[in-house]
């Protein structure tokens, strides 16, 4: 079995006491790569520390998460710019995007921050990892001018409609990230997935959040990507091994690591 967790926050304090065991469990189920998205300036050190400890297995991204966009966003962006300039180890710009679920106070700033980071992705030839919550049309509007650019990336934690999936796939370099939400009882994602080619799907956990069935209610971790794989395999009526191989290849392609 070959699996890749394209989105996991294993550097957060939820894993401070048992990260070695968490990594071991991920390896045991066949996870070959774990990609770690940054949140803001407060998480960079912890993320890099985890990725350095598990170099060649865990890979860091750099970016400013939309829920961390506030009146200080210019300072935060300066830190992202500095990291991009001083280090070649980042494999993506992420996690970036827009989130209007909790608060719309900084809507305009979120748009500015997203656009700036998309520009950096093109400048540094890195993929983007997009967070979207109650903000699809706003994000699409920011991204639309870049349709003819070689922009690539992942629309992470997709929970949208078939129409929204089709609009994402207007960007030929984009894949759609599917996590534990697809296993939830009331999820409409299984029906939507049937409209999306498997060649455009990557798997993720978003650990420690969105734990898939049968462990829902517990802390999520990278090993549980196998439960998402199981459900996705059922939807596509393919073996878990085949889906694991295709989605892993898709992920490595996005991150420029496909040999």
Residue 116: pLDDT band with limits 50, 70, 90: very high
Cβ atoms 110, 98 nearer than 8 A: yes
Cβ atoms of 35 and 8 within 8 Å: the answer is yes
* Bond prior to 255 in cis (omega within 30° of 0): no
The mean of the pLDDT values for the chain is: 97
Render pLDDT for 177-222 as a digit per residue (tens, 0 to 9).
999 999 999 999 999 999 999 999 999 999 999 999 999 999 999 9
| 65 marked among binding-site residues | no
- Check the annotation: does 206 bind a ligand: yes
Query: What domains does the chain contain, in order, with CATH numbers?
Result: 3-254 (3.20.20.140)
Confidence check: pLDDT of 152 > 90: yes
For 161, residues 6+ apart whose C-beta sits below 8 A from its C-beta are: 192
**Closest Cα partner for 181 from 154, 166, 160, 155?**
160
Burial class (CB in 10 A: 0-12, 13-18, 19+), 133: middle
- Give 87-111 as a DSSP string: -S----EEEEEEE-SS--TTHHHHH
Q: What is the pLDDT of residue 63?
A: 98
Query: pLDDT band at residue 18, thresholds of 50, 70 and 90?
Result: very high
Flag whether 199 is marked binding.
no
9 assigned ligand-binding residue: yes
Known binding residue 33? Answer is: no
Tokens of 10: 């294993």
pLDDT digits 0-9 by tens, 36-50: 999 999 999 999 999
- The response to whether 188 counts as a known ligand-binding position is no
CA-angle at 225, arms to 220 and 227, nearest 5°: 95
172 — pLDDT class (breaks 50, 70, 90): very high
pLDDT band at 1 (very low <50, low <70, confident <90, very high): confident
In this prediction, residues 152-168 reach a mean pLDDT of 98
Dist. CA 102–CA 191, nearest whole Å:
27
């Amino acid at each position: 079995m070959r699996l890749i967790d394209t989105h996991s926050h294993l550097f957060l304090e939820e894993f401070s006491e048992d990260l070695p065991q968490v990594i071991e469990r991920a390896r045991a189920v066949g996870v070959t790569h774990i990609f770690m998205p940054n949140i803001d300036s407060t998480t960079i050190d912890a993320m890099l520390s985890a990725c350095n400890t598990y170099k060649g297995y865990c890979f860091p991204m750099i970016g400013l998460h939309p829920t961390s966009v506030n009146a200080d966003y210019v300072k935060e962006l300066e830190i992202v710019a500095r990291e991009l300039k001083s280090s070649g180890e980042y494999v993506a710009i992420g996690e970036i995007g827009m989130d209007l679920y909790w608060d719309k106070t900084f809507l305009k700033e979120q748009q500015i921050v997203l656009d700036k980071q998309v520009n950096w992705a093109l400048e540094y030839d890195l993929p983007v990892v997009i967070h979207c919550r109650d903000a699809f049309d706003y994000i699409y509007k920011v991204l639309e001018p870049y349709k003819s650019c070689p922009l690539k990336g992942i629309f992470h934690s997709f929970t949208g409609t078939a129409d929204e999936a089709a609009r994402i796939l207007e960007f030929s370099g984009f894949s759609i990230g599917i996590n534990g939400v697809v296993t939830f009882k009331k999820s409409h994602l299984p029906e939507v997935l049937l409209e999306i080619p498997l060649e455009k799907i990557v798997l993720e956990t978003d650990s420690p959040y969105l734990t898939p069935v049968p462990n829902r209610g517990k802390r999520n971790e990278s090993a549980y990507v196998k439960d998402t794989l199981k459900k996705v395999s059922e939807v596509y009526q393919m073996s878990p091994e085949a889906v694991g191989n295709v989605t892993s290849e898709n992920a490595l392609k996005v991150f420029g690591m496909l040999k």
